[in-house]
């Protein structure tokens, strides 16, 4: 009998397909309610930090340079009140084989796939992760399929995504390109079922553990260069893996006083599943369209339990505007001689703004850069925005409306990190937990889990639950 | 005319508008979910024909033939003169010692 390949039919086999293609059973970490044993899941299904360092070293991933951005720091000090202007350092992750920190995630996933005997790997991603998986699969002689959400209904595609298609194909991967829509996931499931390849999910324990080396290296390199831990580490926040992995690595290095700050590009007002809006945004990742939904409901991902849980680690979450990132990308090239891709500079932009408020003896580390080139550069991205009716001009970034205009700041002092209310996000996360598990009451174990999973007190969680009319038994 | 063995791109409709799930924005719901993939053509054909290809991973896929030796058409785009001003401004702030306070 043939299998039901309709949308509903394939989605109903989701758990069965995932179990086969991630090679692990998530059930053993479940409590049957909201709580699950996150640390046990990370410990028992992942690899130790030293094993990951070894895996990454063997494929040329990691140990990227940490560079002090002296001219950018000098610029911040010129436009800040006396005594303000923290030192800014950047971790040059573009030095990884495929040009971004995503190699750290892919290295572990693809190693694991090979170890378990899978013939190939598949991933659904339009961004740097696809290139990273393709590159790692090439190194290990595994087959590779990357699925991209790529075109709108006119077959017009973002130059950045088209460049990623080329890069994956040049590593020998098969690239399946789709038009706009969340049913990318349906096609992904069908592909996994047909091929039996390993699901190199961005959100598996392996993928997240792979980023821990990044946070660890930041702490160690900082100590070597300036004799102390960074005061703040700035991390571009999308699906949450970058924040989670880096923060875990900092903790493993003992940098427990370093503040973890996430930054996303503000794309509020644009619908991520809209055919019309698709080509009116200039950032395809690192934006609020991923950052907020994934922080407030991480288990929406393509694995039963997402190993990326940003609220667990964030001390602060800020947003910045598209025009500000393009401006800072130019600044990095013109003042520091580092031409890098815009998406990776999301956290640098926020760092620039925060440095203006911090003291001169404080240190900010921006933990990534990404490669740049045709399609993936401010020139094609701004030119593409103009072609799609988005106005590009100088002005006050506060007036930028995503999809309508891109405002390059009239002066660098206008660049701002706009703080999001983390407690509001915690409430939203708790609400999503209740709605998705459909429980009427929760146990103290659930409360403790929610407290850990949101980096907030047990009292705060109790208050949120009481306000929702949920009893604690 | 495309010959057997040539590198081509094919197109499929994965879901017709009425087959797409209900929770989509209106504009997306009106259009089909489409898919493009590349591979080696399994038989001679013309553009627009329903064909069969073998992809790089060895999968057999059917679809409408849309392009032979599909090219990468993006680049650095039209020049964006606004960007020129950023470096000029920043270098002058650094050199002239502009101060906020």
Domain boundaries of chain B, sorted by first residue = 1-71
Residues A241, A292: one domain? yes
**Residue A151, token pair as written in the block:** 């075109």
Cα(A351)–Cα(A366) distance, rounded to whole angstroms?
7
Q: From chain A, pick out residues whose CB is under 8 angstroms from the CB of B33.
A: 178-179, 181, 183, 187
Is A66 inside any structural domain? yes
Tally Cβ neighbours within 10 Å of residue A455.
Answer: 18
Residues A378, A262: one domain? yes
Find the CB nearest B35 among A176, A182, A273: A176
Contact state of B31 with A179 under an 8 Å Cβ cutoff: yes
pLDDT score recorded for residue A390: 97
Query: What is the widest separation between alpha-carbon atoms in chain A?
Result: 76
Contact state of B24 with A181 under an 8 Å Cβ cutoff: yes
Residues A382, A300: one domain? yes
Residues A13, A109: one domain? yes
Find the CB nearest B57 among A120, A155, A162: A120
CA-closest candidate to residue A318, choices A219, A235, A231:
A235
Residues A200, A233: one domain? no
- Best of A334, A348, A384, A400 to disrupt the B interface (most B CBs within 10 Å) is A334
pLDDT tens by residue, B5-54: 999 999 999 999 999 998 899 999 999 999 999 999 999 999 999 999 99
Find the CB nearest B80 among A80, A333, A382: A382
* Backbone conformation region of residue A85, classed left if phi is above 0, alpha if psi is from -120 to 50, else beta: left
Inter-residue contact A280 to A403 (CB < 8 Å): yes
**Residue A357, token pair as written in the block:** 């408020």
Find the CB nearest A383 among B27, B55, B80: B80
Residue at which a domain ends, from A186, A205, A224: A205
Contact state of B90 with A80 under an 8 Å Cβ cutoff: no
Cα(A430)–Cα(B67) distance, rounded to whole angstroms?
49
Fold of B1-71: SH3 type barrels. (2.30.30)
Q: From chain A, pick out residues whose CB is under 8 angstroms from the CB of B15.
A: 7, 183, 186
Q: From chain A, pick out residues whose CB is under 8 angstroms from the CB of B81.
A: none
Cα(A67)–Cα(A92) distance, rounded to whole angstroms?
7
Q: So what's the ipTM on this one? A: 0.95
**Residue A427, token pair as written in the block:** 């409430």
Residues A240, A301: one domain? yes
Question: How does residue B100 score in pLDDT terms, banded at 50, 70 and 90?
Answer: low
Cα(A215)–Cα(A107) distance, rounded to whole angstroms?
16
Please report, in tens digits, the pLDDT of each residue of chain A (473 residues total): 578 999 999 999 998 898 889 888 888 999 989 999 999 999 987 789 999 999 999 999 999 999 999 999 999 999 999 999 999 999 999 999 999 999 999 999 999 999 999 999 999 998 999 999 999 999 999 999 999 999 999 999 999 999 999 999 999 999 999 999 999 999 999 999 999 999 998 888 988 999 999 999 999 999 999 999 999 999 999 999 999 999 999 999 999 999 999 999 999 999 999 999 999 999 988 999 889 999 999 998 878 899 999 999 999 999 999 999 999 999 999 999 999 999 999 999 999 999 999 999 999 999 999 999 999 999 999 999 999 999 999 999 999 999 999 999 999 999 999 999 999 999 999 999 999 999 889 999 999 999 999 999 999 999 999 999 999 98
Q: From chain A, pick out residues whose CB is under 8 angstroms from the CB of B72.
A: 162, 165-166
Find the CB nearest A153 among B31, B86, B101: B31
Contact state of B72 with A162 under an 8 Å Cβ cutoff: yes
Q: What is the DSSP letter of A222?
A: H
Residues A406, A438: one domain? no
Q: From chain B, pick out residues whose CB is under 8 angstroms from the CB of A352.
A: none
Contact state of A187 with B35 under an 8 Å Cβ cutoff: yes
Q: From chain A, pick out residues whose CB is under 8 angstroms from the CB of B79.
A: 379, 383
Contact state of B19 with A6 under an 8 Å Cβ cutoff: yes
Q: From chain A, pick out residues whose CB is under 8 angstroms from the CB of B78.
A: 383, 386-387
Q: What is the DSSP letter of A13?
A: T
Residues A189, A229: one domain? no
Find the CB nearest B83 among A275, A330, A387: A330
Question: How does residue B95 score in pLDDT terms, banded at 50, 70 and 90?
Answer: confident
Kind and range of the H or E run holding A42: helix A38-45
Nearest CA of chain A to the CA of B52: how many Å? 15
CA-closest candidate to residue A465, choices A440, A452, A292:
A440
Is A369 inside any structural domain? yes
Nearest CA in chain B to A154: B31
**Residue A63, token pair as written in the block:** 């140990």
Q: From chain A, pick out residues whose CB is under 8 angstroms from the CB of B17.
A: none
Residues A108, A239: one domain? no
Nearest CA in chain B to A178: B35
Nearest CA of chain A to the CA of B18: how many Å? 11
Those residues with Cβ within 8 angstroms of residue A41's Cβ, 6 or more apart along the chain or in another chain: A26, A29, A205, A305, A307
**Residue A181, token pair as written in the block:** 């829509």
pLDDT score recorded for residue A202: 87
Nearest CA of chain B to the CA of A18: how many Å? 21
Residue at which a domain ends, from A419, A434, A458: A419
Residues A179, A317: one domain? no
Is A1 inside any structural domain? no
Is A182 inside any structural domain? yes
**Measured on CA atoms in the order A274, A279, A282, A286, is the torsion positive or negative?**
positive
pLDDT score recorded for residue A23: 80
Q: From chain B, pick out residues whose CB is under 8 angstroms from the CB of A408.
A: 82, 86
Is A2 inside any structural domain? no
Residues A254, A344: one domain? yes
Alpha-carbon Rg of chain A, whole angstroms? 21
**Structural domain of A115:** 7-54+100-205
Nearest CA of chain A to the CA of B1: how many Å? 23
Q: From chain A, pick out residues whose CB is under 8 angstroms from the CB of B30.
A: 275
Residue at which a domain ends, from A144, A173, A205: A205
- In B4-80, the DSSP E strands lie at 7-15, 33-41, 50-54, 60-68
- DSSP H stretches of helix in A276-362: 288-296, 322-336, 346-357
Those residues with Cβ within 8 angstroms of residue A452's Cβ, 6 or more apart along the chain or in another chain: A38, A312
What 3-state class would DSSP assign to A454?
coil
Contact state of B56 with A375 under an 8 Å Cβ cutoff: no
Inter-residue contact B61 to B22 (CB < 8 Å): no
pLDDT score recorded for residue B101: 47
Residues A19, A164: one domain? yes
CATH for A231? 3.40.50.1100
Contact state of B57 with A143 under an 8 Å Cβ cutoff: yes
Inter-residue contact A365 to A234 (CB < 8 Å): yes
| Total domain count, chain A | 3
- Best of B16, B89, B91 to disrupt the A interface (most A CBs within 10 Å) is B89
Instruction: Write phi, then psi, for B53 (nearest 5 degrees).
Output: -125, 160
């Amino acid at each position: 009998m043939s299998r039901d390949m309709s949308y509903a039919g394939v989605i109903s086999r989701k758990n069965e397909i995932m179990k086969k293609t991630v090679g692990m059973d998530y059930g053993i970490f479940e409590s049957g309610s909201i709580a699950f044993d996150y640390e046990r899941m990370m410990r028992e299904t992942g690899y130790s930090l030293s094993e990951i360092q070894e895996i990454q070293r063997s494929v040329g991933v990691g140990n990227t340079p940490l560079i002090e951005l002296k001219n950018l720091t000098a610029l911040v000090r010129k436009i800040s009140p006396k005594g303000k202007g923290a030192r800014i350092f950047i971790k040059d992750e573009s030095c990884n084989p495929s040009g971004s920190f995503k190699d750290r995630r892919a290295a572990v996933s693809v190693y694991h796939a090979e170890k378990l005997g899978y013939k190939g790997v598949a991933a659904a991603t339009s961004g740097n992760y696809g290139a990273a998986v393709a590159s790692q699969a090439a190194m290990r002689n595994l087959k590779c399929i990357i699925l991209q959400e790529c075109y709108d209904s006119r077959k017009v595609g973002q130059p950045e995504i088209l460049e990623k298609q080329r890069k994956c194909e040049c590593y020998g991967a098969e690239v399946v390109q789709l038009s706009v829509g969340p049913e990318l996931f349906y096609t992904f499931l069908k592909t996994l079922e047909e091929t039996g390849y390993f699901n190199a999910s961005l959100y598996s324990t392996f993928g997240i553990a792979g980023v821990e080396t990044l946070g660890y290296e930041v702490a160690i390199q900082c100590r070597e260069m300036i004799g102390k831990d960074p005061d703040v580490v700035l991390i571009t926040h999308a699906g949450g893996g970058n924040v989670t992995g880096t923060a875990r690595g900092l903790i493993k290095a003992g940098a427990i006083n370093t503040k973890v700050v996430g930054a996303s590009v503000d794309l509020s007002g644009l619908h991520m599943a809209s055919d019309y809006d698709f080509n009116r945004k200039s950032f395809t990742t690192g934006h609020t369209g991923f950052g907020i939904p994934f922080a407030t409901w991480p288990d929406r991902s393509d694995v039963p339990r997402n190993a990326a849980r940003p609220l667990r680690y964030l001390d602060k979450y800020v947003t910045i505007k598209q025009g500000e990132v393009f401006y800072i990308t130019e600044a990095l090239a013109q003042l520091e001689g580092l031409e890098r891709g815009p998406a990776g500079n999301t956290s640098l932009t926020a760092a620039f703004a925060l440095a203006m408020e911090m003291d001169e003896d404080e240190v900010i580390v921006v933990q990534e850069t990404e490669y740049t080139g045709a399609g993936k550069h401010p020139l094609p991205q701004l030119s593409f925005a103009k072609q799609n009716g988005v106005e590009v001009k100088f002005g006050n970034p506060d007036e930028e409306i995503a999809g309508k205009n891109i405002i390059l700041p009239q002066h660098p002092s206008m660049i701002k990190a706009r703080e999001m209310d983390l407690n509001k996000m915690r409430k939203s996360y708790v609400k999503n937990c209740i709605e998705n598990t459909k429980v009427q009451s929760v146990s103290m174990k659930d409360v403790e889990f929610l407290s850990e999973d949101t980096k907030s007190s047990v009292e705060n969680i109790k208050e949120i639950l009481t306000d929702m009319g949920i009893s604690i038994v | 005319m495309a010959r057997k063995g040539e590198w081509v791109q094919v197109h499929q409709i994965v879901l017709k508008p009425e087959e797409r799930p209900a929770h989509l924005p209106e504009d997306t719901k009106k259009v089909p979910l489409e898919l493009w993939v590349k591979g080696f053509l399994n038989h001679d054909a013309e553009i627009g024909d329903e064909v069969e290809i073998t992809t790089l991973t060895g999968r057999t896929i059917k679809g409408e033939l849309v392009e032979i030796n599909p090219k990468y058409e993006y680049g650095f785009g039209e020049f964006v003169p606004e960007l020129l001003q950023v470096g000029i401004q920043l270098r002058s702030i650094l050199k002239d010692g502009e101060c906020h306070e």
